[in-house]
Structure 1
Amino acid sequence: MSAHSPDGINRLVGDFMDLQEQWESDRENFDWRVLQELAQRGAHAYNEGAGPSFQALALDGMRHNEFHERFLSYLLQAGFNPFHLSSAGSGAAEIPVIDHASLAEAAESNPFSARMRSMLMDLARKHFEPLVQDVASGMQASAAPLFPAAKACAESIPEDLMQRIAPELVGQVGAMPSRQHINPTEGYLSAAEVEIDNSRRPYG
């Protein structure tokens, strides 16, 4: 079963929820290798053109803890590109595969979220270096191939780096449409999304 098929995405979400429950019930004996294997299977499950990505369903809007922090680390090790832009449905605007704005907001009060954001900022320096070089060579920033991603993911780009790319974007909220605007009839993750939504509450 492909991780990029409708059933594959739902299976990944279900596996993630099962592992989270296992970790919650017995943290000391949890086998992190199983979570790492899931990250390897789902690192590129962006759900192109059909709905929210697997990574968004697993991480966006959550009260982050060690489980989420490790999962993001494993995803990045497996090749996940958090700055990738994807359309959530036919005719929908392209948005980042995870919500950088909500992560930045969570990072203000949650140390796990703050470390997760730091991971993305570290990666941003390497990922957007070609854009920095384009601008340094005289190209208009908005004409560079990586500029749409930089603008949409601005909350995860270090301020000094953004100053070199587009100073006018420093301190601004990224141009990402609200995920509430996704048309649920165009996706196929309704059951998985309900399961994720039900989990969006503080851990006891």
Structure 2
Amino acid sequence: MLGEAARSWLQRWDQQQERYGPDRDERFQVVVDTVGWLLERTEVPRPRLVDLGCGTGSLTARLAHAFPHADVVGVDADPLLLGLAEEAVTGTTARLLARDLTTAGWADEAGPPSSWDAAVSSTALHWLTPAELGALYRTLAGRLRPGGILVDADNRAPSAVPDCRGGRDSEQCRERPVRQRLAQHHQGHQHPVHEDYW
């Protein structure tokens, strides 16, 4: 999908997403700034940045423009959205992969183990079940370099994290601190959990 029609659909998609997820541009900028902070502190000549569930490539394109020396990879399962993403990343070196984040081996073409500097996402990971999210985190633990980061700019809580605002999960939320629930999803990870973050 190329040309004016694709650009029109991208614009319409971005407008719809801004209504769906307020402060979308600001969240994207936080992702870019966070990745920039990381890259300023590393000596990797060609860092690898992977956008999980890249959709139309809006965040992928921002990363590719902000870090033209990086290997930026967008991963999504939806062929229509990837068609729009092709237009979004035109003029950059970003790569797009048609892969389902819930299937084994999805990360293989995005780079070998311990080679990713950052994995990022926005409005995608909340669609995963707790088991799928846990499997994704384990995959990321094996793909990120030591010191690599995951930046999830989703404005929706994943289904893997109970809603602690009340209702049926409120008892569970009082009984176990958030860091303990999230630690269940980090089993096998070598990344430290810092008490300061909570």
Same fold (TM over 0.5): no
Instruction: Answer 1 or 2: which has greater helix percent.
Output: 1
Higher RCO, Cα 8 Å, sep 6+: 1
Instruction: Answer 1 or 2: which has greater strand percent.
Output: 2
Query: Which TM-score applies when normalising by structure 2?
Result: 0.31
Query: Which TM-score applies when normalising by structure 1?
Result: 0.31
